[in-house]
Amino acid sequence: MDGLNDILDAACPELVVLTAQASLPETMFVHPGVYDMFARTRARELEAGFPLMVLGLSLKPDPALPMGGFRFAFEGPISV
């Protein structure tokens, strides 16, 4: 379970900085093994049909990331 804590500890400060810059990501990508760990801890929510969310972000697997890595993704510009 330490892997989850390490990723959350690393992601939180980056997310705070992005929030202060009004640059809010919508998705957090993690290694598939880490995604599976999160999915196991949220199995009931997933079984109920809810998306996997962490830190208010949609969580998605990315096999290109190392086990302890993560990245944020942003929605494209909004047309007014």
Q: How far apart are the first and last CA of the chain?
A: 44
Could you give the CA distance from residue 62 to residue 29 in angstroms, rounded to a whole number? 6
Q: How far apart are CA 65 and CA 59, in angstroms?
A: 13
**Residue ranges per structural domain of the chain:** 2-73
pLDDT one-digit tens code per residue, 14-56: 999 998 988 889 999 999 999 999 999 999 999 999 999 999 9
Mean pLDDT of 43-72: 94
pLDDT score at 3: 75
Distances (CA, A) of 61 to 7, 17, 48, 67, 80: 14, 23, 20, 11, 32
Question: Residue 66 burial by CB count (10 A; 0-12/13-18/19+): exposed, middle or buried?
Answer: exposed
